[in-house]
Chains A and B, each alone.
Chain A
Amino acid sequence: MRDADFFRRWMAAAAAAVEQEADRLTELDSPIGDADHGSNMLRGFIAVRAALDAEAPATPGAVLQLAGRTLISTVGGASGPLYGTLLRRTGKELGEAAEVSDDELCKALYAGVGAVALLGGAAPGDKTMLDALVPGVAALNTSYRAAGDAADNGAQATVPMLARKGRASYLGERSIGHQDPGATSSALLLGALADVADASGGQR
């Protein structure tokens, strides 16, 4: 079972990963985006860390809902409402339980990813964060590490894709040949989850 502390550690690990990779995210966002994905995500996750420290939510659901709300208010770009919706919807699905099982988390993340797809109107193959999230969450049935790896592979698989959503879609064919920054940050998020699960033992 996973308690609120596990989810706080997940968000802290995600913040650390975003911090470490912020420059790379912005670099990926330069040829096909507006070159601010790294700084936007960093601003958002620094605020998430501060909000979780200040409020110390007591349940897994409350941790993710606070993190999601904070991202929507602070990121400033499209990744704010998209990641905010992912975490907030996942948190709502987890409800008010003090501890949740791996299966419950898996199911809740499915709902979160579905909410992201609905909000952005995107589908896998459109060269968006869904190309990492969908295979990542599907592999969560196997293990946390498999989820992180599948998300990472999904992000790399966006390179030959034609962007159909967001600013990159205005570039048409010129969007081909670049890895999607949103899929890359999604892989960081699921990679952070795998790291925290590994460190806490009790692999599913």
Chain B
Amino acid sequence: MTGAGSGLVGIVLVSHSAPVAEAVAELARGLAVGGPDAPMAPVAAAGGTADGGLGTSAERILAAAREVDRGAGVALLADLGSSVLTVKALLADDELPPGSRLVDAPFLEGAVAAMVAASAGVPLPAVESAAAEAYAYRKA
């Protein structure tokens, strides 16, 4: 167990682009708002390379995960290619906080679902399945 009850699940959004990661975090925050006194899960954006280009930065991912870790686990959502592979490589080497998980979900829709669920105080597996369910929503 990853310190259940000690805090909310944290969320990290890993994108090839810093503006994309920031904007999706902003959208997820906006739609997760429950009310003036409702808790909001911590979310951090890890977008782009260290020099501001398109790509993935392992350092940004590690910093974001540490920032949102409250002891209840960290759900990481990634967009494409190197975002996914870098998170997997960091997990394989145990570099991320204990209880970190790469969530298999669509990036934007999954981020919103994960934020809503995490802000409701549910544990990491429930945050994960909320995000993964976003795959099942057909648009046409």
Could you list which residues of chain A lie within 8 angstroms of chain B, going by C-beta atoms? 34, 36, 40, 69, 72-73, 75-82, 84-85, 88, 115, 119-120, 166-167
> Quick one: closest B residue to A77, CB to CB?
B82
Q: Is B89 interfacial (CB-CB < 8 Å)?
A: yes
Could you list which residues of chain B lie within 8 angstroms of chain A, going by C-beta atoms? 49-50, 53-59, 81-82, 85-86, 88-90, 92-93
Mind listing 7 A-B residue pairs with CB under 8 Å? Answer: A69-B93, A73-B58, A78-B82, A80-B86, A85-B89, A119-B88, A167-B81
Q: Which of A73, A79, A88, A167 has the most CB of B within 10 A?
A: A73
Give the distance in Å from the alpha carbon of A115 to the alpha carbon of B49 in the complex: 24
> Quick one: closest A residue to B87, CB to CB?
A81
B55 touches A77 (CB 8 A): yes
B88 touches A72 (CB 8 A): no
Q: Chain A residues with Cβ under 8 A from B54's Cβ? A: 34
Knowing A77-B82, A80-B82, A167-B81, the reply to whether A119 touches B89 (Cβ < 8 A) is yes
Knowing A78-B81, A78-B85, A82-B85, the reply to whether A119 touches B56 (Cβ < 8 A) is no
B93 touches A88 (CB 8 A): yes
The 4 closest A-B CB pairs, nearest first, are: A76-B55, A81-B89, A81-B85, A78-B82
